[in-house]
Amino acid sequence: MLNAAERKQLKARAHRLEPVVLIGTKGLTDDVVKEVELALKAHELIKVRAPDLEREAREDALKALCERTGAQSVQEIGKVFVIYRKRDE
């Protein structure tokens, strides 16, 4: 679990990032999860955009995405999630 200081530092790092994965109208598909996995392996900290999902569906998608990838939610701003998973050394 991230503490407040770690979360603050990650939010600052994420500020300049662009979303690298898009969750479309089909929601959180296996292909989307695979793309998020690849992005997390490459970058550790990523933004995911979910423009077509309603608020409750976005919250569910973020929770499911974190569970399925082992990532942690850093921040949710409107239709954009910031998630983090420490890279294996």
Would the pTM count as exceeding 0.85? Answer: yes
What the block records as the tokens of 61 is 């998608």
At the topology level, CATH places domain 4-84 in Translation Initiation Factor IF3 (3.30.110)
Inform me whether the pLDDT recorded for 1 exceeds 90.
Answer: no
Contacts of 9 (CB under 8 A, 6+ apart): none
Core vs surface per residue 15-49: b (16+ CB within 10 A) or e: eeeebbbebeeeebeeebbebbbebbeeeebbbbb
The pLDDT value given to residue 88: 74
**Residue 87 — very low, low, confident or very high, per pLDDT cuts 50/70/90?**
confident
> What confidence category does residue 89 fall into, taking pLDDT thresholds of 50, 70 and 90?
low
pLDDT, tens only, 72-81: 999 999 999 9
To the nearest whole percent, how much of the chain has pLDDT over 70? 99
